[in-house]
């Protein structure tokens, strides 16, 4: 039975909170089971617009495409989607070209809703006009719907934006220190009333910044006073809150509409839309204070990936993020610091009292020694440009061997039918010799494809992992940045979390520990704050055991693909 990859996608946060994922996965899973297909991977894109092609340009579908191009999946592997527009809502010609390219690499695309199958033959066969028209119509309708929706939204937004210049409320959403009221009945002639208690908090932030306080000091002062963020947000005040208050336009009364991503303005600045709560002079002095403090002793990082485990580290006390508070190369002396991490909630006074520091360099070195060989599988070393050429070369070699074997069989049969086979002996010997040569060429093509795909023996894999570790500490900035970025992405696929516990014990004595847990709890390794391995438990070598997998995966079905990857990595190390 063929292998199957399920792909799902949704574009908005509202869809994520609904049943979009569950419906797509359920429909596709039931369809695959009915066909008897083996689901080997489930891949999704969260918040990616198919109308803009983000699922390919930025998302996991694009990464899957790269793996398909590299020949990672055998011919006949099925890409299963709930509906065709999950793959793309771009123009029909782009959709068709993308599907033709994928199917040319041996994939089949199947739509669960309707059971339509697309492969290289149905997409290119001139007699299959109905299939082609069905493809184009589906893509065209989806693209047209998305375009109409985008046009309607833009038109409505522009109309609201123009009305806002006359004092009308553009949206019910507004800064937390304001509340909307009747048209023009608010403070300063606007349609918003100032919530005095909250406005005083904002003014104090501006005053402290103008007086020389940095963002972290301001946040600590607010959290020490018990100030809570308004709205739906819980916890304490963060530096993001204060930075947006001071650098944003709302406190001075202006409104700049943004797209949902908040990275690109969606219209001109509307001056005087909100009532001003901070005078222009204080705004200028507060922002000048922020600018003047840049580069004068704040946090400094070797590169954006100074902590390879960022995003996975958690405080045992409050489950908050543990982040760097002092980089590995920080300080004014020539002596390198080991780098320190601390609970972000504790650092900002957001309810966690554990202000313990954890040594980053010691943990990183020890953790990489224990798990980097599992994080860096063959795909990390794969050369996609060479893989495709090697796949084609192997296909040619297979055909050459098959043709010669057929010729040899025909000659053998002919020799059995004639009285004097002497004239055929030379022909037989020539074909047999050519077959031996073709066999050697096929073996070389197989080896070349394995190398292009990054495959190697266990000992060789350990050697190349060591070379990556050296690149992580390279004196060449570009090499170091690339290595740390790629290793960080690899670690995210393997490490579930790192629990930092300052109140742990070891052999009956207090011990500050960092416990690294791999996906599904397959491996857990406890380190001291000095980088010593205190304990190690795991079942990574038993992940292919059905009973063990069932136990590890109980209640954690979403980790199945990651556990499959982990099992493959561990298995590759056992190969000679």
Query: 379-388, pLDDT tens digit by residue?
Result: 666 555 566 6
How wide is the angle at C-alpha 405 spanned by C-alphas 403 and 407, nearest 5°? 70
Q: Which two tokens stand for residue 81?
A: 């989607």
- For the segment 131-157, the average pLDDT, to the nearest whole number, is 59
Q: Which residues lie below 8 Å from residue 557, measured CB to CB, with a gap of 6+?
A: none
pLDDT value of residue 287 = 87
Question: Does the pLDDT at position 334 exceed 50?
Answer: no
Residue ranges with strand state E in 48-204: 78-81, 108-111, 117-118, 178-180, 192-194
Highest mean pLDDT among 157-161, 226-230, 336-340 belongs to 226-230
Question: Does the pLDDT at position 296 exceed 60?
Answer: no
pLDDT of 173-228, one tens digit each? 788 999 988 887 888 888 899 999 999 999 999 999 888 888 888 998 898 888 88
- Which position has the token pair 């990651």? 562
- For the segment 71-93, the average pLDDT, to the nearest whole number, is 77
Question: Does the pLDDT at position 435 exceed 70?
Answer: yes
Question: Does the pLDDT at position 571 exceed 60?
Answer: no
Give the helix/strand (H/E) hosting 405: helix 384-417
pLDDT value of residue 300 = 40
- For the segment 114-122, the average pLDDT, to the nearest whole number, is 81
- Of the candidates 16, 18, 72, 75, which has an alpha carbon nearest to the alpha carbon of residue 44? 16
Confidence band (pLDDT; 50, 70, 90) for 264?
Answer: low
Confidence band (pLDDT; 50, 70, 90) for 159?
Answer: low
Report the share of the chain in percent with pLDDT over 70: 68
Instruction: Choose between 232 and 270: higher pLDDT.
Output: 270
- Strand 78-81 to 38-46 pairing: unpaired
- Number of CB atoms found within 10 A of residue 44's CB: 19
- Do 325 and 299 meet the contact criterion of CB atoms below 8 Å apart? yes
DSSP class of 334: S
- Do 12 and 47 meet the contact criterion of CB atoms below 8 Å apart? yes
pLDDT value of residue 232 = 61
Question: Does the pLDDT at position 301 exceed 50?
Answer: no
pLDDT value of residue 298 = 42
CA 368 – CA 364 distance, rounded (Å):
6
Instruction: Choose between 362 and 483: higher pLDDT.
Output: 362
Which residues on adjacent β-strands are paired with residue 7?
Answer: 43, 81
CA 61 – CA 47 distance, rounded (Å):
13
CA 205 – CA 247 distance, rounded (Å):
11
Q: Which two tokens stand for residue 408?
A: 């040899």
pLDDT value of residue 505 = 93
Q: Which two tokens stand for residue 373?
A: 């060989």
pLDDT value of residue 31 = 92
pLDDT value of residue 299 = 41
Q: Which residues lie below 8 Å from residue 337, measured CB to CB, with a gap of 6+?
A: 326, 327, 328, 329, 330, 331
Question: Does the pLDDT at position 567 exceed 80?
Answer: no
- For the segment 167-177, the average pLDDT, to the nearest whole number, is 75
Give the helix/strand (H/E) hosting 528: strand 523-528
Report if pTM > 0.85: no
pLDDT of 218-262, one tens digit each? 998 898 888 888 866 567 888 888 998 998 889 998 887 765 445
pLDDT of 501-540, one tens digit each? 999 999 999 999 999 988 777 788 999 999 999 998 876 6
CA 523 – CA 31 distance, rounded (Å):
34
Both ends of the chain: CA-CA distance in Å? 29
DSSP class of 275: P
Residue ranges with strand state E in 144-223: 178-180, 192-194
DSSP class of 118: E
Cα–Cα distances in angstroms (integers) from residue 404 to residues 408, 430, 436, 444, 448, in the given order: 6, 10, 10, 17, 22
Q: Which two tokens stand for residue 332?
A: 């004014």
Torsional class of 320: left (φ above 0), alpha (ψ -120 to 50), beta (otherwise):
beta
Q: What is the mean pLDDT of the chain?
A: 76
Question: Does the pLDDT at position 101 exceed 90?
Answer: no
pLDDT value of residue 201 = 94
- As a residue count, the chain comes to 576
pLDDT value of residue 190 = 84
- Do 254 and 199 meet the contact criterion of CB atoms below 8 Å apart? no
Confidence band (pLDDT; 50, 70, 90) for 566?
Answer: low
Question: Does the pLDDT at position 75 exceed 90?
Answer: no
Contacts of 311-314 with C-beta under 8 Å, sequence gap 24+, read 311/492, 312/491, 312/492, 312/495, 312/496, 312/497, 312/498, 313/341, 313/497, 313/498, 313/500, 313/514, 314/497, 314/498, 314/499, 314/500
pLDDT of 318-330, one tens digit each? 988 898 876 555 4
């Amino acid at each position: 039975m063929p292998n199957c990859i399920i792909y799902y996608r949704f574009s908005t946060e509202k869809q994520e909170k609904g049943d979009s994922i569950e419906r797509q996965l359920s429909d596709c899973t039931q369809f695959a089971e009915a066909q008897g297909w083996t689901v080997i991977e489930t891949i999704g894109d969260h918040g990616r617009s198919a109308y803009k092609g983000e699922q390919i340009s930025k998302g996991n579908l694009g990464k899957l495409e790269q793996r398909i191009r590299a020949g990672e999946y055998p011919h006949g592997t099925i890409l299963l989607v709930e509906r065709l527009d999950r793959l793309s809502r771009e123009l029909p010609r782009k959709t068709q070209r993308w599907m033709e390219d994928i199917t040319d690499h041996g994939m089949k695309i199947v739509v669960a809703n309707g059971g339509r199958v697309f492969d290289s033959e149905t997409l290119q066969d001139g007699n299959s006009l109905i299939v082609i028209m069905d493809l184009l119509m589906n893509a065209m309708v989806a693209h047209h719907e998305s375009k109409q929706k985008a046009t309607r939204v833009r038109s409505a937004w522009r109309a609201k934006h123009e009305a806002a210049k006359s004092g009308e409320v553009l949206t019910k959403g507004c800064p937390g220190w304001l509340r909307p009221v009747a048209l023009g009945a608010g403070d300063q002639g606007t349609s918003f009333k100032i919530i005095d208690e909250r406005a005083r908090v904002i003014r104090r932030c501006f005053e402290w910044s103008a007086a020389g306080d940095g963002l972290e000091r301001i946040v600590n002062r607010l959290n020490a006073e018990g100030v809570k963020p308004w709205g739906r947000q819980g916890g304490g005040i963060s530096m993001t809150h204060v930075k947006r208050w001071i650098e944003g336009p709302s406190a001075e009364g202006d409104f700049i509409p943004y797209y949902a991503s908040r990275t690109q303005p969606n219209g001109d600045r509307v001056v005087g839309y909100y009532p001003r709560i901070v005078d222009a002079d204080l705004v200028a002095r507060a922002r000048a204070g922020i600018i003047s403090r840049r580069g004068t002793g704040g946090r400094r990082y070797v590169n954006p990936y100074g902590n390879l485990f960022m995003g996975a580290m958690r405080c045992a006390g409050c489950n908050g993020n543990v982040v760097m508070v002092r980089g590995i190369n920080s300080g004014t002396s020539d002596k390198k610091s080991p780098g320190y991490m601390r609970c972000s909630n504790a650092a900002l006074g957001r309810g966690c009292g554990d202000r313990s520091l954890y040594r980053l360099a010691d943990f990183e070195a020890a953790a990489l020694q224990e798990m980097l060989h599992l994080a860096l599988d063959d795909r990390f070393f794969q050369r996609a440009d060479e893989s495709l050429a090697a796949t084609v070369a192997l296909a040619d070699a297979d055909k050459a061997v098959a043709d010669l074997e057929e010729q040899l069989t025909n000659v053998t049969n002919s020799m059995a039918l004639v009285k004097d086979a002497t004239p055929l002996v030379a022909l037989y010997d020539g074909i047999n010799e050519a077959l031996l040569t073709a066999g050697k060429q096929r073996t070389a093509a197989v080896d070349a494809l394995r190398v292009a795909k990054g495959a190697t023996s266990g000992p060789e894999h350990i050697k190349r992992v060591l070379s990556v570790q050296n690149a992580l500490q390279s004196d060449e900035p570009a090499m170091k940045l690339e290595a740390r970025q790629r290793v960080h992405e690899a670690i995210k696929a393997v490490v579930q979390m790192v629990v930092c516990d300052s109140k742990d014990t070891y052999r009956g004595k207090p011990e500050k520990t960092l416990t690294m847990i791999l996906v599904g709890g397959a491996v857990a390794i406890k380190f001291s704050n000095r980088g010593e391995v205190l304990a190690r438990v795991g079942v990574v070598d038993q992940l292919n055991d059905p009973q063990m997998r069932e136990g590890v995966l109980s209640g954690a079905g979403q980790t199945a693909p990651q556990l499959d990857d982990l099992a493959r990595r561990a298995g590759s190390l056992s190969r000679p």
